[in-house]
Structure 1
Amino acid sequence: MEEIKIKGARIHNLKNINLTIPKHQLVVITGISGSGKSSLAFDILFEEGKNQYLRSIGILAGLDNEDRFDMMEGIGPTVAVRQNTIRQSNPRSTVGTKTGILNQLALIFTSDGKTLDEHRTHLSPSYFLYTTAEGTCISCQGRGSYYDINLEQLIPDNTTTLLEVYEGLKVTTGFLRILKKKYCMYFDIPFWQLPEDIQDEVVYGTYQNGKQSYCLERILRNAYEKGEDVEEVYVKTICPDCHGERVSDDAREVFFYGKRIGELGQMTLTGLLDYLDGIPEEELSQFSKNVLKNVRQKLKQLIQFRLGHLTLYREMSSLSGGEVQRIFLHLHLESRLDSLIYIFDEPMAGLHPFEKQSMIEAVKKLRDLGNTVIVVEHDKEMISQADHIIEIGPKAGVEGGTVVYQGDYAGYVKADTLLSQYLSGKCTMPEREGRTDTFHKEDCLILKHANTNYLKDVTVAFPLHVMVGIAGLSGSGKSSLIEDTLLKRLVSNQKYGHATGISGVERICSFTKISQEPIGKSATSTPASYIGIWDKIRELFSKQPEAKIRNMDAGYFSFHSKGACPDCGGSGYERIFLTSDFSVDKLCPTCHGKRFQEESLLVAYNGKTITDVLEMSIAQAVFFFADQISIVKPLRILEQMGMGYLTLGQPTSSLSGGEAQRVKLAKELGKQRGGNMLYVLDEPTTGLSLYDTALLLKLLDQLVAGGNSVIVIEHNVEVLKSCDYIIELGPEGGDKGGEIIAKGTLGQLRDNPNSKTGRYLI
C-alpha cells in the first residue's frame, strides 16, 4: 500500500481523527506543545507498527487491550527515536562502541599493529577493546578515570567531629536523624579519631542488594552530577595505569603508525580522520586497507552530520538528544534498509542554522532509499522542505487533537493556521519592552582564563540585567563556558565564599540553572509532585468527612504508599518483558489504570476522586482549586507559559526536554524572589513551536524587566534576535573551537565577518 490510513484515532487528546499519510515521503507533523502531534506519531503510528509486527510473530496475541483507534491500514515495520528515551546512562557505552568504529580499529591493530621492538605477540581484536575482559584496564574497569575523595581537603582539621563533617556538607535534617541513630556514639568524636572501619563506612558506605548506603561518596557524587563545584574534594582522577586510554597493558604496547588505540579513542572524529588520511595505504595489508576505507567513510558521514567535535570515547549519556539522533540516523543510513517507517522527534534540536541543511539532506537520503520518514518538528527549514505537512491543533490539550492542515508547503503558508501564520509573516515574535544596546562596563560578571575542555584561555564579560545569548556551532564550547565553568565557579563562590577566575558576583543576589535534564525518572514523579502541590492536595483529601470516618491519612491518597493498587503497585499497568531489555505494558486488570486501591476512591473532594484530580489538566486544576491559593499559584504560572494542557498526574519522565525545562522555570518563578537573580537556560526552545517560543520570550522579558539577568544558550534565531547581547563561540567544534569569535549587539554581530551567526539575524 502506498498510504497509511487511520480512522478514529482517539488516544489522549486526539479527537477521533481520520488521516491518510503518504508513504515514501518526508512527512512533517507539527503543532504547538500539547496539541497531540506526539500522540499521533508515537502513541498511534509507532505503537501500532511495533505491535503489528509482534502480533505477526505470535508474541502479542491477546495483549492489545487499549482502544486507541478504529482502523489502521498500510502500517509497516516502524522505528522511532524520542528525545526523552534515547539517553543512555551506561558509562561504557560510547560513540566508538555505538558506531562500531572501535571494533573496526581493533581489527586494524590486530592485523597491522606493531610493538616498539618489532617482536610482537599476536593479539586478538578483543585485547584492543575496553569492553572485554581481555582488553579492559583493571584499575579503572575501562572507564579511563575515577573519582577520588580528597579527605585531607574535605576534613583538614584534626578536631572536626563527624557531626561537623555532615553539617559542612549541608546534609538535610531528615538524613541527619537517620545518621544519628546509626552513628550515635561516634557523632561527637573527631573524624580522624574514629575506628578505621567506621571511617571507611562513613566515606564509602555499605552495599546491600547492590544499593549503596548514604555516605560521603554518595553525597559528593550527587552534588557533582547536579553540576555543583565539588572538584576540590571530589576529584576526577585520570587512571594512573592506562592514562585515560581505558585498555590493558598488552594493548598499550601495540602501535599503528605511531598511535595506540587508546590515543585514537581520545581524538575528535575530525582529528582522527585527518590522522587516518595521512597513513600511506601502500604499506597496509589488503585487509586493513578494506577496513580503513570503511572507517573513513563512517567518520566522513558523522562529520557531515556535525558530529566531528565528538571523540570515540565520549560517553553516550553525555550527548544531547540531537546528537544521539544524528548518530542513530548515521547507523540507519549505513544499514541501507528500505520499506521501513522512521519516526524522528525533533532531529534539528541542538543544531546551529549553519548546520541544518546537512541534516535535512541526510533525512531525505533515508527517504530516497525507499523509506517513509515522519518527523515531529517545529523547525522552519525542515517544514519548508517537507513533501507533506500535517498540523495538529488548533491549540493544546482539550483545545487540540484535530487535523487543522494537511498538504504541501505552498498550501501551508496560505492556510492561516496558528503556526503557519508565523511562517507567512502574519504573526511575529513579541518585541522586547526593555531592550537596550547600552551596557555599563562595571555591571558585568567577568569570567577569566577559562580552559575547561576545549576552551582556549577564554576571558569574557557577561552584561547583567539584560538578556545575553550564547551562540555557536555544535561542540564550539557553549556548554563548557556556561555550565562547566561559569556555573561551577558561581557554585564554588556561593559554597565557600570565594572563587578564582570570576568577578562581579556581588552584583547578583543569587543564580539558578534551568536545564533540560529529566525532572523525574520514575512514573511516581508528576508535575504536581515536582512543583510542590501534591502533598497539599493529598492533605485536602485526608480532611474530608469520609476520610475521617475511615481513619485515612494522606498516605491513602498516594499511589506509591497506602493508596496504591495492590496488584500493580500504583503504576496502573503490568509490564511484560519479552526480552531482558524489551517490554510491553498491559493495563492493570484490577484498577484499570487508575493506580489506587478501591477504598481511596470512595473519598471525594468537591465531587472529584483523587484519580479525577490527577487526570485534570493544569488549566482545569486552576479553576477547580481556585480557593486554594497555595495550590493554584504555581499552576497559574504554568498556564501563563502555555502549559495548561499538561495533566497533574502524567509521569514527568514522559515530558520532552523543553517541557521539563518550562516546568522547572515555573517552579523557580513560584518562589519568593526579590529580583536581581541570574537565570541560566540551556536551549529552552527545544520542543517549542514558534507560538510557544513567543510565550517564552514574553516570560524572559518579564524577568529582565523585573531587575533580573538572563543567560540563554540557544541556536534558535528568534530567541537570539531578542537578546540584548550575544557571545559567539567557534570557529568550529571540538578542538577547532573554544574561542570567542564574536560578541556584541545584533548589529555588531551582523557586521562581524568572523560571526557564523550574524548572517541569520536579519
Structure 2
Amino acid sequence: MEEIKIQGARIHNLKNINLTIPKQQLVIITGISGSGKSSLAFDILFEEGKNQYLRSIGILAGLDNEDRFDTIEGIGPAVAVHQNTIRQSNPRSTVGTKTGILNQLALIYASDGKALEEEREHLSPSAFLYTTADGMCINCQGRGAYYDINLEQLIPDKTTTLLEVYENLKVTAGFLRILKKKYDMYFGTPFWQLPEDIRDEVVYGTYDNGKQSYCLERILKNAYEKGEDVEEIYAKTECPDCHGERVSDDAREVFLHGKQIGELGQMTLTGLLDFLDGILDEELSQFSKNVVKHVRRKIKHLIQFRLGHLTLYREMSSLSGGEVQRIFLHLHLESGLDSLIYVFDEPMAGLHPSEKQIMIKAVKELRNIGNTVIVVEHDKEMICQADHVIEIGPKAGVEGGTVVYQGDYEEYRKADTLLSQYLSGKCLMPERTVRKRSFDEEDSLILEHAGTHYLKNLTVAFPLHAMVGIAGLSGSGKSSLIEGTLLKRLASASKFNKAFASKFNKAFASKFDKAFPGKLGHATGIAGVERISCFVKISQEPIGRSASSTPASYIGIWDKVRELFAAQPEAKRRNMSAGHFSFHSKGACPDCGGSGYERIFLTADFSVDKQCQRCHGKRFQEDSLFVEYKGKTITDVLDMSIADACSFFTDQCSIVKPLRILEQMGMGYLTLGQPTSSLSGGEAQRVKLAKELGRQRGGNVLYVLDEPTTGLSLYDTALLLKLLDQLVTSGNSVIVIEHNTEVLKNCDYIIELGPEGGDRGGEIIAEGTPEQLIDNPNSRTGRYLK
C-alpha cells in the first residue's frame, strides 16, 4: 500500500481522528506542546508498527489490551528514537561500541600493533576491548574511572551515630524503617565505632542477583545523577592503573603509530581522523589498510553529522537527545534498509543553525532509499522541507487532539492555524519590555582563566540583571563553560561567606583544587559572587526516571492531596491514612504493585507492557477508590490536567499556587499523574522553573537554563520569552545556553564559543549585543540573527 490509513485514533487526547499519510515521503507532524502530535507519531504509528510485526511472528498474540483506534491499514515495521528516551546508564556503552569503531580498531591493533617486548605472544582482538574479560582493566573493570566516597568529609565528627548519618542524608521514612529492621542495634552507635564488616555493608551494601542493597553509595550515586551538589564527598576519580584508557596492561603495551588503543579512545573523532590520516602505508598490512579505509569513511560520516567533538569513550548516557538521534541516523543510513517507517522526535534539537542542513540531508537520504520518514518537529527549516505537513491542535490537552491542517508546505503557510501564522509572519515573537544596552564589570560575574575540557584559558564577564545567551556550534564548549565551570564555582562560593569568597577567591580556589582536583571546574577564580543573592540551575536532566514520579509529586503538592483524601469521612470510617492514597505504598494494587501494568520480557532487554487485569491501569487497590473528594477519586485527580486541577482545588491555596504558575507557562495540558520520565527535556525544564518560581527567593537571583526551547513550538517559545523577560524586569539575571535564533535575538548580550567543536573549539569568537554579532565577521551565529 502507498498510504497509511488511520480510523478513529483516540489515545490520550486524540479525538477519534481519521488520517491518510503518504508512504515513502518526509512527513512532518507539528503542533504546540501537549497537542497530541507525539501520541499520533509514537503511541499510534510506531507502537502499532512494532506490535503488528511482533504479532505476525507470533510473539504478541493476545497481548493487545488498549482501545487506541478503530483500524489501521498500510502500517509496516517501525523504528523510533524519542528525545526523552532513557538511554543506557551502563558506562561500557560508548560512542565507540555503539558505532562499532572500537571493534574495528581492535582488529588493526591485533594485526599490526607493535609490542614493547618483541617476544611476547600475539594478542587476539578481544584483548584490546574494555568490554571483554580479556581486555578490560581489572582495577576499574573497564570503566576508566570509579566513584570515591570521602567518608572523612561526609562524617567528620567521630561522635555522629549511624542514625544521624541517615538523617543528615535525608533518608525517607520508608527506607529508614527498612534500615532500622536491619541495623536497629547499631543505630545509636557512632559510625566510626561500627564493626568493620557492618560499616562496609552500610557504605557499599550487599548484592543480590546483581542488585545493590540500599546503602550510602547508592544514596550518593542517586544524588549525583540528579545533579545535586555532592562532589566534595562523592566524585568520579580516574583509574590510577589505566589512567582512563579502560584496557588491560597487556593492551597498553601495544602501539600503533606511537599510540595505544586507549589513547585513541580518548581522542575526539576529528582528532582520530587526523591520526589515521597520518599513518604510513608501510606500517600496515593489506588487511589493516582495508579496515582503516572503512573506519575513516565511518568517522567522516559522523563528522558530517556534527559529531566530530565526541570521543570513542564518551558514554552514550551522557549524550543529548539530538546527538543520540544523529548516531542513530548514521547507523541506519549505513545499513541501507528500506520499506521501514522511521519516527524521529525533534532531530534538529541541539543543532546550531549552520548544522541543520546536514540533518535535513540525512533524513531525506533515508526517505530516498525507500523509507517513510515521520518527524515530530517545530523547526522552521525542517518543516519547509516536508513533502507532507500535519498540524495537530488547535491547542493543548482537551483543547487539542484534532487535525487542523494536512497537506503540502506551501498551502500550510497560507493556512490560518496557530503555528502556520508564525511561519507566514502573521504572528511575531514578543519583544522585550526593556533591553539593556550598556554593560560594565561592576555589574557582572567574572570567571577567570577557565580551562575545563577544551576551554582555552578563558576569562569571561557575564553581565548581570540582563538576559545573556551562550551560543556556538555543537561541542564548542558551552556546557563546559557554564555547567562544568561557572556553576561549580558558584556552588562552592555559596558555601562560604560571599564577600570572603570574592575577596580571597584565588587563594581559596588554589587550596581547594589541591585537595579536590577538578571538582570546581578548571579556573583560577570567580569575582562578583556577592552581586547575586543565589543561583538556580534549570537543566535538561530528567526530573524523575520512575513511573512513580509525577508533576504532582515533583512540585510538592501530592502529599497535600493525599492528606485531603485521608481527611474524608469515608476514609476515617475505614481507618485509612494518607499512605492508602499512594500507589507505591498501602494504596498500591496488590497485583501490579501500583505500576498499572504487567511487564512481559520477550528477551533479556526487550519487553512489552500489558495493562493490569485487576486494577485496569488505575494503580490503586479497591478500598482506595471508594473514597471521594468533591465527587472525585484519587485516580480521577491523577488524570486531571493542571488546568482542571486549578479549578478543582481553587479553595486549597497551597496546592493551587504552583499549579497556576505551570498553567501560566503554557503547561496546563499536563496531567497531575503523568510520569515525569515521559516529559521532554523542554517540558522538564519548565516544570523545574515553575517549582523554583513558586519559592520565595526575594529577587536578584541568577537563573541558568540549558536549551529551554527543546520540545517547544514557536507559540510555546513566545510564552517562554515573556516569562524570561519578566524574570529580568523583576531584578533577576538570566543565562541561557541556546541555539534558537528567536531566543538569541531577544538576549541583551551574547557570548559565542567556537570556532568548531571539541579540541577545535573552546574559544570566545564573538560577544556583544545581537546587533554587534550580526556585524561581527568572526561570528558563526550573527548571520542567522538578521
Give the distance between the partners of 1:569 and 1:202, measured in 2 at CA.
Answer: 27
Shift of 1:183: 7.9
Q: What residue is the counterpart of 2:522 in the other structure?
A: none
Deviations 1:206-240 (A, max 9, x none): 55665555655445444443445554544533222
Note the 1:708-723 alignment, pairs <5 A.
708-723=732-747
Note the 1:725-736 alignment, pairs <5 A.
725-736=749-760
Q: For 2:613, what is the secondary structure of its paired residue?
A: coil
Contact 2:112 2:283 in 1 (8 A): no
Deviations 1:431-475 (A, max 9, x none): 110221112321111111211111111110111111111111000
Give the distance between the partners of 1:60 and 1:154, measured in 2 at CA.
Answer: 50
User: AA paired with 1:466?
Assistant: A
User: AA paired with 1:371?
Assistant: N
Q: What residue is the counterpart of 1:755 in the other structure?
A: 779
Note the 1:245-644 alignment, pairs <5 A.
245-497=245-497, 498=501, 500=509, 501-644=525-668
Give the distance between the partners of 2:677 and 2:455, measured in 1 at CA.
Answer: 33
1:496/1:52 Cα in 2 relative to 1: closer, same or farther (>3 Å)? same
User: AA paired with 1:257?
Assistant: H
Give the distance between the partners of 2:8 and 2:194, measured in 1 at CA.
Answer: 69
Contact 1:87 1:321 in 2 (8 A): no
Give the distance between the partners of 2:327 and 2:377, measured in 1 at CA.
Answer: 18
Shift of 1:527: 0.9
Give the distance between the partners of 1:216 and 1:543, measured in 2 at CA.
Answer: 36
Q: What residue is the counterpart of 1:12 in the other structure?
A: 12
Note the 1:218-233 alignment, pairs <5 A.
218-228=218-228, 230-233=230-233
Deviations 1:102-144 (A, max 9, x none): 0011111111111134445221110010000000010110011
Shift of 1:85: 1.4
Contact 1:9 1:68 in 2 (8 A): yes
Shift of 1:177: 7.3
User: AA paired with 2:159?
Assistant: T
1:136/1:185 Cα in 2 relative to 1: closer, same or farther (>3 Å)? closer
Q: For 2:441, what is the secondary structure of its paired residue?
A: coil
Shift of 1:301: 0.6
1:168/1:623 Cα in 2 relative to 1: closer, same or farther (>3 Å)? closer
Q: Indicate yes or no: 2:692 matched with 1:665.
A: no
Shift of 1:242: 1.4
Q: For 1:148, what is the secondary structure of its paired residue?
A: strand
Aligned residue pairs, count: 759
Deviations 1:569-616 (A, max 9, x none): 221122111111111111222221111122211111111111111111
1:595/1:194 Cα in 2 relative to 1: closer, same or farther (>3 Å)? closer
Give the distance between the partners of 2:192 and 2:610, measured in 1 at CA.
Answer: 55
Contact 1:729 1:740 in 2 (8 A): yes
User: AA paired with 2:45?
Assistant: L
Give the distance between the partners of 2:447 and 2:161, measured in 1 at CA.
Answer: 36
Q: For 1:72, what is the secondary structure of its paired residue?
A: strand
Greater Cα offset, 203-212 or 531-540:
203-212
Q: For 2:90, what is the secondary structure of its paired residue?
A: coil
Q: For 2:479, what is the secondary structure of its paired residue?
A: helix
Q: TM-score, normalised by structure 2?
A: 0.93
User: AA paired with 1:623?
Assistant: S
User: AA paired with 1:448?
Assistant: E
Contact 1:519 1:660 in 2 (8 A): yes
Shift of 1:517: 1.1
Deviations 1:709-736 (A, max 9, x none): 1111111010111111111111111111
Q: For 1:442, what is the secondary structure of its paired residue?
A: helix
Give the distance between the partners of 2:659 and 2:261, measured in 1 at CA.
Answer: 54
Shift of 1:756: 0.6
Q: What residue is the counterpart of 1:140 in the other structure?
A: 140
1:269/1:251 Cα in 2 relative to 1: closer, same or farther (>3 Å)? same
User: AA paired with 1:608?
Assistant: K
Q: What residue is the counterpart of 1:47 in the other structure?
A: 47
Shift of 1:495: 2.7
Give the distance between the partners of 1:615 and 1:143, measured in 2 at CA.
Answer: 42
Contact 1:86 1:321 in 2 (8 A): no
1:552/1:203 Cα in 2 relative to 1: closer, same or farther (>3 Å)? closer
Shift of 1:197: 4.5
The percentage of counterpart residues that share the same residue type is 82
Contact 2:186 2:194 in 1 (8 A): no
Shift of 1:174: 5.6
Deviations 1:330-369 (A, max 9, x none): 0000000011110000111100001110111011111111
Contact 1:25 1:367 in 2 (8 A): yes
Q: What residue is the counterpart of 1:79 in the other structure?
A: 79
Shift of 1:272: 0.3
Q: For 1:620, what is the secondary structure of its paired residue?
A: helix
User: AA paired with 1:758?
Assistant: G
Give the distance between the partners of 2:66 and 2:231, measured in 1 at CA.
Answer: 50
Contact 1:230 1:492 in 2 (8 A): no
Contact 2:163 2:188 in 1 (8 A): no
Contact 1:186 1:194 in 2 (8 A): no
Give the distance between the partners of 2:202 and 2:718, measured in 1 at CA.
Answer: 51
Shift of 1:37: 0.3
Give the distance between the partners of 1:519 and 1:453, measured in 2 at CA.
Answer: 26
Give the distance between the partners of 2:557 and 2:219, measured in 1 at CA.
Answer: 27
Q: For 1:759, what is the secondary structure of its paired residue?
A: helix
User: AA paired with 1:248?
Assistant: S
Give the distance between the partners of 2:565 and 2:458, measured in 1 at CA.
Answer: 56
Deviations 1:269-294 (A, max 9, x none): 00000111112235422211211111
Q: TM-score, normalised by structure 1?
A: 0.95
Q: What residue is the counterpart of 2:170 in the other structure?
A: 172
